[in-house]
Structure 1
């Protein structure tokens, strides 16, 4: 009999070791003891999943300070047949690190991931006025670059960076918001749905059918009239022409909830392109609240009533 290749057991994450993405992956029980592949960007992580190199990839999708991670949103819109199967929250804090012998007064240029830089900008403007910024692919890469070249004097890095690189910490907790949290999602190439838990989230990409007054309201009504709350809605350019946008949506509930399923049917009738990114348990485990008139039984009874009117037996 022909031999078959073993199923992939590796997980991809934005590297190198020590990033917040790695901390998110550490929360996945199934990933324990498996191979973790450090990649350079979201596109590479998703390519690993599509090609079968990895069983899943951990990617950042939203930050409590800066909102949605646009690189991730755009990548999910352009890579088909992917599903979000879980979400994970990581509290975010930052340190300023430098080569040994450097003082804060010596700092004129800072290496930093753009998102981290934005979250530390007020502190940097006060402590290092007039500084320059060199973008880095990750916070750990920003720190590592200090040991590779002298283009920057310091870097924004995650706590614990000294476990990976021989540097000095000039300041700790330099983030402007002490409550900052980054939301990560685990993405796989699968059609299987995690079972509903009552504390779920559904992610979608929705295009408007045409640009006219009230079009966005018509889309939002598909959720509002079914009692489905939205926890995220963000527009992103489709890219085929100026003024065309898709909407990145996180809705409270699971596709197997009757109210969510009915909302998706309405969206499908309304929009020329709806991409279902997945239904999965919320990281905060907060139960979804809704009024009794949107209970599953109400939708089921309404369908049975209609079937009886047209002479069909209720399902």
Structure 2
């Protein structure tokens, strides 16, 4: 049985002047917008990366102090590359989360006509969020995958050669930044789409409890038998801990073996969360703690009677009296 636990000494997540932040570039991505919620560019060093895995690994190698990466989208769900990279390798922790509203325009070089578009470059998540608009307005157009939401904009702006595509799905601010024109605006199928980003750092002191927190974990099932998932989930339900996200991911060593990436409402300093973690550590072969941090997406649910800190303290004190022979 293994458990990757964040040390309680040291400090983590406190921005300092000159800190280096790896993020999915180039300039103008939604990730950069999330990074700007953490620290202004004049107060830090921004390190654009070609993909989210490189951003995370930059922290592990020491080439960056922190990374900002997308972890979940309200339309497409979890960002699997981020979930899988955080689940293995040298332990890292999540220190805070940021939300960014997501929208797209169809952009091209000045003078391009929409009727001439045959191939569109877009990040796979952008393509997925615009597929109905594309099917209705540009049926038969070919998707050319891009590494980020602004990578094709940079290519359109920087090269006069045939790139293999005539237009791109990009964030609206990329138009001015890269000198492109909008062939169509508001092309996303869901105008309310939101992406959740996280600040990733090396282990250290856990951010202080706020009363509206989130704890992220990766857990392997105790067995591959009937009831194994229930046994794992009971560690939360028995302590009154609500799960706001749970996703299965293949472990990778053989077919049919999965781990679970999850967000639980609460902080490791909460008695109910600590008890749930101890339960997981007892029954599951692998538990990776990815941090407790303030949540921003929604108010925390009501704490169930009997699962407040005071309830755990009182129950523990009662058991102690039984051990001492003074209680009943």
2:85 alignment counterpart: 75
The answer as to 2:172 corresponding to 1:169 is no
Q: Which of 249, 258, 261 in structure 2 is aligned with 1:236?
A: 249
Partners of 1:71 and 1:263 in 2: CA distance: 27
Partners of 2:194 and 2:17 in 1: CA distance: 33
1:3 alignment counterpart: none
Q: CA deviation at 1:81?
A: 2.1
Name the Cα RMSD after superposition: 1.9
Q: CA deviation at 1:209?
A: 1.8
Partners of 1:193 and 1:257 in 2: CA distance: 13
Residue 164 of structure 1 aligns to a residue whose secondary structure is helix
Partners of 2:172 and 2:85 in 1: CA distance: 28
Kept after mapping to 1: 8 A contact 2:107/2:175: no
Kept after mapping to 1: 8 A contact 2:51/2:147: yes
Partners of 1:126 and 1:84 in 2: CA distance: 40
Partners of 2:190 and 2:67 in 1: CA distance: 28
Kept after mapping to 2: 8 A contact 1:8/1:53: no
Kept after mapping to 2: 8 A contact 1:200/1:280: yes
Higher RCO by CA contacts (8 Å cutoff, separation 6 or greater): 2
TM-score for the superposition, normalised by structure 2: 0.90
Partners of 2:325 and 2:170 in 1: CA distance: 64
Alignment CA distance shift 1:312-1:45 (3 Å) = farther
Partners of 1:192 and 1:74 in 2: CA distance: 24
Residue 87 of structure 2 aligns to a residue whose secondary structure is helix
Superimposed CA distance per residue, residues 67-105 of structure 1 (whole angstroms, 9 cap, x where no aligned partner) = 000000000012322010000000000000012211111
TM-score for the superposition, normalised by structure 1: 0.94
| Bigger mean CA deviation after superposition, 43-52 or 201-210 | 43-52
Kept after mapping to 2: 8 A contact 1:42/1:75: no
Residue 80 of structure 1 aligns to a residue whose secondary structure is coil
Figure out how many residues of one structure are paired with residues of the other and give that number: 309
2:10 alignment counterpart: none
1:144 alignment counterpart: 154
Residue 206 of structure 1 aligns to a residue whose secondary structure is strand
Partners of 1:118 and 1:242 in 2: CA distance: 27
1:87 alignment counterpart: 97
Superimposed CA distance per residue, residues 142-200 of structure 1 (whole angstroms, 9 cap, x where no aligned partner) = 22223433311110000111232121110111100111000000000022100000110
Residue 293 of structure 1 aligns to a residue whose secondary structure is coil
The answer as to 2:68 corresponding to 1:55 is no
Residue 216 of structure 1 aligns to a residue whose secondary structure is helix
2:35 alignment counterpart: 25
Kept after mapping to 1: 8 A contact 2:17/2:44: no
